[in-house]
Amino acid sequence: MTERPLVWIPRPVHTDALARLRPHADVRPGYGADGATFDEISDRVAAILLRTERVDGAMLRRAPRLRIVARHGVGLDTVDVDTARELGIAVTTTPAANSRSVAEHAMTLLLAVRRGIGIAIRNEGDTRAAIRGRELSGGVLGLVGFGRIAREVAAIASHGFGMRVLAHDPMVPVSVMTDAGVEPADLPTLLSLAENLSLHVPLVEETRDLIGLPELMALPEGAVVVNTSRGGILDESALLDAVRRGHLAGAGLDVTTVEPLPSDHPLRAEPSVVITPHTGAQTEQALRRMATEAADHIIARIT
């Protein structure tokens, strides 16, 4: 009888993924009572279902039967992709699995800021008098980047909240935006109109500090900025400045340049800034989709 392939899972993932893998492979966790280290299974391992752990070239070379490293989520910065390619080991991601969750989180942050939830939770002074909310309905939402997450945000904002949605993304055909009921705009036009601004671009050289003080001051007075993309795209000291000047009504941040943002960071002292610790994709559905899609990539490769 041929030996069943072995799948190593260094950190816990949604249990549905384990159930999906078990008919096809032996599943060995890297945690818990029967947990195995990589060194213990390296000569047998056929697949790794990876969250954010590091898999370097030396590990890949020590695993002669390894066929695939399946990432749970996106981003390949923890895997030595060049060595994997050289050795014929597939490396996969699950880029669309959490888009809806992150989009809903962006809307959550926007609503939280617009309705003064951060101020209400602090409960200092006459909170009721301090809060003057603003409906999203009829407002303008500007999206920087129009990829997977931004498209979900656009659908929720226009269909669910009756917002006018503009987007700036030089890599996306205009027809994709207009078909989605979104108005294409260059960045200066978008900034001049966006009462609500939401960022959905990757962090690369061209997008680092894309939104600094001039861009924030170009927004209409009383605008709200939401960032669920990556810290580093929005200049945090400029944001603090624009909030303190009263130019912005507030901001919602799921991502920051340092994560988690230290408790003494000045942005945390601003009641109109709502900060979550990179939890945009932390939903039951996204965690399940990321894990089961990664399991499917493994099954396709090892059977």
The piece of 116-124, 127-135, 144-152, 154-162 that touches ligand NAD (CB under 6 A) is 144-152
The site string for ligand NAD over 68-97 (x = CB under 6 A, - otherwise) reads ---------------------------x--
Cβ of residue 43: shortest distance to ligand NAD, in angstroms? 35
Residue 175 near ligand NAD by CB under 6 A: no
On whether the CB atoms of residues 77 and 55 are closer than 8 A, the answer is: no
Residue 284 near ligand NAD by CB under 6 A: no
Active site residue 4: no
Which of 207, 219, 235, 249 binds ligand NAD (CB under 6 A)? It is 207
Residue 234 near ligand NAD by CB under 6 A: no
Exactly one of 53, 135, 221, 259 is catalytic; name it.
259
Q: Which two tokens stand for residue 281?
A: 């994709």
Active site residue 71: no
How many whole angstroms separate alpha carbon 299 and alpha carbon 242?
50
Which residue reads 């205009």 in tokens? 174
CA dihedral angle for residue 203, residue 204, residue 205, residue 210, rounded to 10 degrees: -40
Cβ of residue 201: shortest distance to ligand NAD, in angstroms? 4
Active site residue 195: no
The site string for ligand NAD over 100-139 (x = CB under 6 A, - otherwise) reads --x-------------------------------------
Exposure string over 233-266, b if 16+ CB within 10 A, otherwise e: bbbbebbbbbbeeebbbbbbbbbbeeeebeeebe
Q: Are strands 45-50 and 90-92 parallel, antiparallel or unpaired?
A: unpaired
Which of 5, 29, 147, 271 binds ligand NAD (CB under 6 A)? It is 147
Which of 77, 179, 206, 264 binds ligand NAD (CB under 6 A)? It is 206
The footprint of ligand NAD (CB under 6 A) covers 95, 98-99, 102, 144-150, 168-172, 200-203, 206-207, 228-230, 254-255, 278, 280-281
Q: Which residues are catalytic?
A: 230, 259, 278
